[in-house]
Every structure is written in C-alpha cells, then in structure tokens.
Amino acid sequence: MAKEIREITIALSGNPNSGKTTIFNNLTGLRQHVGNYPGVTVEKKTGVIKYKGYRINVVDLPGTYSLTAYSLDEIVARNFVINEKPDVVVDVVDSSNLERNLYLATQLMELDVPLILAFNMTDVAKKSGKKIDIGLLSELFGTPIVETVGSRGLGSDELLEAVIKVVSSRKRKEKKVEVKYGEEVENEIGKIISVLKKEKVPILKFDARWIAVKLLEQDRDIIDTLKKASGPEYSKIEDAVTGSINHITSILRDTPEVIIADGRYGFINGALREAYKEVDSGKLDVSEKIDRVLTNRILGIPIFVLIIWLMFQFVFTLGKYPMGWIELGFEKLSVLITEIVPQGLIRSLLVDGIIGGVGGVITFTPNIILLFFAIALLEDSGYMARAAFVMDRIMHKIGLHGKSFIPLIIGFGCTVPAYMGSRILENRRDRLVTMHINTFMSCGARLPVYILFAGAFFPAIAGNVIFSIYLIGVLMAVIMARVLRATRFKGESDPFVMELPPYRIPTLKGILIHTWERTWMYIKKAGTIILAISILVWILFTFPMIGNNYSQDYNGQIEKIEQSYRSGEITEDELNEKAAVIEGKMAGERLTYSTAGRIGRFLEPAFRPLGFDWKIVVATISGIAAKEVVVSTMGTLYSIQEAEGQSDSLKTALYKHYHPLVGYNFMLFTLLYFPCMAGMVMFRKEAGTKEMLFQIGYTFLLAWVMSFLVFQIGRLFI
Amino acid sequence: MWEIIIIAVTGLAALAYLIIFFIRQSNKKNMCMGCPYTDECKKRNSNKL
C-alpha cells in the first residue's frame, strides 16, 4: 500500500514561536526554497526530504494563532490547506503552552484534514514540571502526536514515520473527533447545513459543517467566496445565517463567534484536564512569577515608565564621561589642524565644517551605544513583549490596534523601518494611523539633539529633561491617534492575541552583536551622509563671502585696540578680550551675509513667535535631511562664529546665546516635526503621496503650534 | 584661487553623493537607509513583506 505513494506533501503549521521553523530546518536542512504564495506577498518556504524511498515536500505555512480571516497569514495558511490539499498537516505545538497552541489544532481538526500534532519543546515542559499523557491526548484529539525537541533535532525521524503511517492508512476511515458547541449552536449549524444542501450552494472544496461554523463566525473571506460562487441565491443563506446568529445571541447573550471560541477552549481544557498535569501544581514558574508583577493591571504601566526613565538616566549619566573624552579628542584634532594647515578656507572647511559637524555627531556615539545596549537588553530578555502586552489595553483605548505597539517601539530606534514595520497591520486605517503617529516616537537620530540641548541648558537634570521629551512624544502620539481615529480614519480595530515568550537571560554575545550592528550604522551614517551634508552646510555658511562689506570698520577698531596695548593703556588680557568681541561681531556679520544666513533671516519672522532666531531656523531646516544634522549644523555654525583662539564648547556657546526656555522649545520642535527625508520617502512608498504630504503638513503645523504655546506661556514666567 | 577650486570640487562631490544616495534608496524595494534595525526588521517582517 505504502509503495503506491512515492511523493508526499506536508504542510507545517503552528503558532509563532512554537519552533515551527526549527522543525522545518531540521527536516529539510539546506534543501529549501523561498518564494511567495500566489498573488500575495507572504513568504512561502518549501523544502524536500528523501526518506525511506519517499520524496517528501515540506511547505512551511505562515505562523498563525488561528485560522480566522483576521490576517493575510491566516487566510493564506487555511487556503493552502483547503485548496492544495496536502497529504498531511503537521501542527507544531509549543508543549509548554498547550492551551493556546492547541486552539489552532482544533481549527485544523474542523477542516477535516489528515493531521499530526508535533509536541515541540517537550524537554522544557518536562523540566518545568508538566506531565503530558501523550497517548491519551492523542486519543482525545483523534490524531497522532509526536514528541519533538527542535532545538536538539530530536523527534524528526519519528515525525516522518508518523507522516508515512498517516498517508499509508488514509483510506481507512478513522474516528473523527469533532468539537461540539452546545445544543443551541449545534442546532443552528444543522439548520445552516440543510439550507446549504437545499439551495445546492456550491461549497467548493469546503466541508459543509466547517462552512456553517464559519458563517456563524461571520468570516468575511468565506462569505465573499460563497457570494461569488452562489450569486443571488446567497440571500437565502444570508437570511438563514442572520436568523441563527440572532437566535444564538438572544439565548446565550453573546455572539456566535465568542461562543464558538469558548467551545474550542472548552474542548482543549477538557482534554488537558484528562491528560495533562503540572507536578508542582499551584507553583508558578519563574516567568509567571515575574509576569505577575511586570504585567500587573495596576503596576504594569508605572513599571514600564520607570524602566524607560532608568534607561535614559543610564544613557545620559554613564554616557557623559566617554562623550567628554571624545569631545576633548576632537578639540585636540582641531588644534592640530589649526597648527598644520595655514589660515584660510581649507582650514575652516576642515575645522569648522567637518570636525565641527561630523565631530559633533560622533561625540554622541557612547550615548547611542548605551541606548541600543539598553534596548537590546530589554528585547532579548523578553521584556519588550511584556511592554507591548501592558500597552495593548491602552492602545485599544486610544483606538489603535494592539499590534501597533511593535512598529511604535521600532520607532524609538529609527522611524524608517518603523513605517515599514507598520505592514504587520492588515487594516489600512490601523496602518495609516500608526504611521502618522510614529513620528512622535523619538528616534535615535534625535537623541544627539536632546543630549546637546539638555546638557547645555539643564546639565544637572539632563536625564529627566530628555525623559520628559520622550514622554511628551508618547502623549502626543496618544492624543493624535485619538484625533485621527475620530476624524480621518474612523472605524473599529481588529482583535489580536498577544504573544508572550518566556523570559530569557540574554546572552552577552547576542546583546553586543545587536548593539554593535546599530552603532556601526550610526557611525557609518556620520561618515557618509552627515559628512556630505556638513560640507554643504559649511559652504552655505561661508559663501558668498563678505569681503569689505562689514557694517563697521572692524579692522580699524582692532588696530586702535592694538595701539592702546602697545602704548600701555590696556593689558594683554584686555586686548584679547576686546579683540575677541570684535572678531565675534565680524563672524556674526559673515554668517548673516552667507546664503544660509540669508535663508535663515528670510524665514526668521515665521519662527520668531517660538523664540527661534535665524540660526535655529537654519538648524531646523537642515534637520529635514537627517535629524543628527541639527547638531552638525549647530557645530559648524558656532565653530565659524567663534573668534580665533576662543574655544568654547558648543554647549557653552548655546548656553550663552539662548534662554533655557528656547532650548527646551527647540527640543520639542525637533521631536514633533516629521523625522527626515528618508522617512518621508518611505512614507510615500507605503502610504502614497497624499498621506505623505498630510504627514509633513500636520506634524510641522503641530510642532509650530505646540512650540508657540510653550514659548508664549513660558515667557510669562521668566 | 586653488582653495576655491578644491572647495567647489568637494562641494559638488558631496552634493552628487547625496543625490545618488537618495535616488538609489528611493529605488530600493525595501529601504532600510541608515537603519540600525535592518536585520531585525527583516526577520520580524519576513512573513509579511
């Protein structure tokens, strides 16, 4: 019998994080092919195994929690099972989390396909004191169960044996186990099946009971398929289904969708009560103990806020020492170049343009390393998933999908991939709202701006100030999500099951690799884009040159002071001081005369109500290219403006020129206006030109209005 | 004069670099410009892209 079938197709299904991909890799080794499912951009991985004379094709289905029609992955997975009719479906189940993982198994059972359950990670389950009676559970589910430990490659042969056995015996009718949903629902399922039969609805490749259940669940995909297949006849089915739904809802006081899900969980719980025991029942494992605190309803959010606050304290307090060393290094380099290269444009380009600009950005590398180190630590330990879980409730309250939190968290690193990450949201409205508010999740590129300004104006409480900016960003995201949901993007968000992987002690190697990858990108960016922009910014600040067009005869004034010194009227210190003041004025006029100065002055009136002078305006505009450029522009600007021999740090220079209120206001403005050019290119790709223009317009307007309010109200108190 | 020539050449090179860079990035299918999360992002979205 077995020899008749030489080619077998297996579909591997399973929850995300169940170890499905590891099993797939164990089975297929390097014989894999990656493509797409037809018509959609969901990745399709296939592989081939030759085992005991069989050629076994393995298809890795997308990881899903269920087979509803909420996401593209789920539709792709179930359509593959229904349309391609694989010889066997192997559902990979995480043995340490049976209740949730078996939910998918119950849905596969309903599809009436040859099914094998691979109980993966049984070693972890056993270690944590869980005892599973595999034989009994297999009987209760009416399907073979094979134990596997994917991480150690155990159970692959047993799985293949089971596959061959199922395929060989498939003509023998096995006892089919069905999940029963209670008398009321079962009666209605029966009614719908009889209407389907009576009206001779083409149910295509589907099982009639399964169709009836899906219609009661109001599965959009199935409804659309049936409508297309049956044409006007569908109205009779629709009437029957509506009647059944109303009946169930009135009797059981809940929608059939909920009752059916409860039924499946009831079946799973019942089976587990029989065949599953926790040896130390009542005793919580470490993850559960930690979760009791970290994901607590009341404590969860304050703990999350505290952890983020600690992260910024860590980044700022620890980062300021190496930052100081790098700053000193660049100062010494400037002095060295000043000594080697004769005075002139080339020296100014090297010292003011490149060192002032790129050096200003490189200086913040230690902070970036620490920030990415902290994020990697939170991610690798499993806490980020908890943060997403804690925030899920809030997300729903502000009208966002729980999944939105993931791209929003990515936004703290860089907004560009965060826009791309929004693709995980199937619903366009959810996706657009998430993208539109992602701007306010302050990206890593803005951190140097905050560190510079907070360090200059609020050195004693810089960490707290930066934290407050991040917090305002989150708050603005919440408010704008609410506003956008109530105006441009009305509608309900889809439900979502949040995955909580167990806590892990992160490996130092893993964290260091993550941190280094991200840090290297930052340094690379400073050495390429920031360098190119710094050169252009320097040119804009230098040309056209002022020549003899100064408003006063500064050279004459310097001459006079020098004469006074020679005649002994003033001391050397007084000479230097007075000369520095005049040179400062000259540099100021040179900058004002330059192209950048003219642009800044032209736009200055629009920003005056925010307390910004033309220099800040130029920095703001240059920040459109990339936010770090704000720092490099300021560095170049103040380096040019500094009188020869005077070496105030950029922080000191800023502190001298602006009030702390203006400093804070500028940080706020930097936070709120759209992230950068690359971000906008991505936004256009993902959402179209109209949405990109909306993003640019509304964030700029919001930044202006907020900064206006802060400055105008703040100045009343100073 | 030679200073002006060096600066003009450097400035044009910087401008050309930026233009080419942005054109290349905007033509890429999955743009991950300057992104510290590239690898993770690809992993996270491997089923979705």
pLDDT at A89: 93
Q: Is residue A560 part of a domain?
A: no
Within 10 angstroms of residue A186's Cβ, the number of other Cβ atoms is: 15
Nearest to A634 by CA among A603, A680, A667, A661: A667
Mean pLDDT of A29-43: 53
Domain map of chain B by residue range?
A: 2-44
Specify if A655 maps to a domain.
no
Rounded to whole angstroms, the Cα distance separating A119 from A148 reads: 6
Hey, are the CB atoms on B11 and A535 less than 8 Å from each other?
Answer: yes
Distance CA A52, CA A63 (A): 29
CB contact at 8 A, A361 and A632: yes
Same domain, residue pair A147 and A187: no
Residues A109 and A156 both lie in one domain: yes
Q: B35, B41, B44: best mutation site toward chain A, by most A Cβ within 10 Å?
A: B35
CA distance A502 to A584: 60
| The total number of residues written for chain B in this structure | 49
Is pLDDT at A476 greater than 90 in this prediction? yes
Structure tokens at A639: 């380096």
- Give me the pLDDT at residue A83, please: 80
Which range marks the domain in which residue A248 is found?
183-279
Shared domain for A40 and A156, answered yes or no, is: yes
A164 vs A395 pLDDT, higher one: A164
**Interior angle at CA A205, CA A494 and CA A110, nearest 5:** 60
Strands A115-120 and A145-147: what pairing?
parallel
Q: Identify whether A624 is part of a domain.
A: no
How do residues A70-81 score in pLDDT, each as one tens digit? 667 777 788 888
Kindly list the distances between the CA atom of residue B37 and the CA atoms of A126, A277, A376, A424, A539, in Å, as whole numbers in the listed order.
Answer: 36, 41, 11, 16, 33
Which one of A279, A311, A337 terminates a domain?
Answer: A279
Residue A589's pLDDT is what?
A: 87
- Checking if the pLDDT of B26 tops 70, the result is no
The mean pLDDT of B24-39, rounded to a whole number, is: 53
Is residue A146 in a domain?
yes
> Does the pLDDT of residue A36 top 50, yes or no?
no
Q: Please give the pLDDT value at position A41.
A: 45
CA-CA distance, A565 to A549, in Å (whole number)?
A: 27
Q: What is the pLDDT at residue A419?
A: 82
Residue A41 lies in a domain: yes
Selecting from A42, A539, A678 the residue whose C-beta is nearest the C-beta of B11 gives: A539
Terminal C-alpha separation, chain B: 53
The tokens 């034989």 sit on which residue?
A135
Q: Is B27 exposed, middle or buried (0-12, 13-18, 19+ CB in 10 A)?
A: exposed
CB contact under 8 A, B41 and A678: no
- What torsion, rounded to 10 degrees, do the Cα atoms A182, A188, A190, A193 define? -140
Mean pLDDT of A519-546: 87
Cα angle, residue A474 at apex, residues A468 and A480 outer, rounded to 5°:
130
Rounded Cα distance, A533 and A348, in Å: 16
| Comparison of pLDDT for A284 and A419, the residue scoring more | A419
Q: How far apart are CA A138 and CA A144, in angstroms?
A: 5
Query: Nearest Cα to A510, choosing from A372, A364, A384, A387?
Result: A372
Lowest mean pLDDT among A135-149, A483-497, A658-672, B12-26: A483-497
Mean of the per-residue pLDDT values of chain A: 83
Give yes or no: residues A189 and A149 share one domain: no
A144 touches chain B (CB under 8 A): no
Are the CB atoms for A337 and A350 separated by under 8 Å? yes
- Judgement on whether residues A163 and A269 belong to the same structural domain of the protein: no
Q: Which chain B residues have a beta carbon less than 8 Å from that of A682? A: 31
A171/A262: higher pLDDT: A262
Q: Please tell me the predicted confidence (pLDDT) of residue A643.
A: 53
Global pTM?
0.60
Confidence of residue A339 (pLDDT cuts 50, 70, 90): very high
Whether A99 and A31 map to the same domain: the answer is yes
Res A617 pLDDT > 60: yes
**A187 and A164 within one domain:** no
Say yes or no: A682 contacts chain B, CB-CB below 8 A.
yes
Residue A493: both structure tokens together? 């968000």
Of A242, A260, A279, the one marking the end of a domain is: A279
Residue A645 has pLDDT above 60, yes or no: no
Mean pLDDT for the stretch of residues A182-192:
85
Cβ burial of B28 (10 Å; 0-12, 13-18, 19+) is exposed
pLDDT exceeds cutoff 70 at A496: no
- Nearest-Å Rg of the Cα atoms of chain A is 33
User: Is A406 an interface residue toward B (CB < 8 Å)?
Assistant: yes
With respect to residue A255, please indicate whether it lies within any of the assigned structural domains: yes
Domain boundary among A255, A279, A303: A279
Tokens of A203: 């149910």
In this structure, the answer to whether residues A197 and A74 fall within a common structural domain is: no
Q: Round to the nearest angstrom and report the end-to-end CA distance of chain A.
A: 91
Instruction: Assign residue A105 the CATH number of its domain.
Output: 3.40.50.300
Q: Domains in chain A: how many in total? A: 2
The region of weakest confidence among A160-169, A419-428, A695-704 is A419-428
Domain check: are A154 and A259 in the same one? Answer: no
* pLDDT at residue B30, rounded to an integer: 47
A197: tokens are 């039969």
Is pLDDT of A326 > 60? yes
Using CA coordinates, name the residue in chain A closest to B22.
A678
Are residues A158 and A44 part of one domain? yes
- My answer on whether A125 and A26 are in the same domain is yes
Grade residue A494 by pLDDT with cuts at 50, 70 and 90.
low
Contacts 24+ apart (CB under 8 A), A298-301: A300/A386, A300/A389, A300/A390, A301/A390, A301/A391, A301/A394
Task: Classify residue A249: in a domain, yes or no.
Answer: yes
Q: Which A residues in the span 414-433 are in contact with B, Cβ-Cβ below 8 Å?
A: 414, 416-417, 420-421, 423-424
User: What is the predicted pLDDT for the residue at A669?
Assistant: 96
Instruction: Say if residue A154 is in the same domain as residue A206.
Output: no
* pLDDT at residue number B49: 31
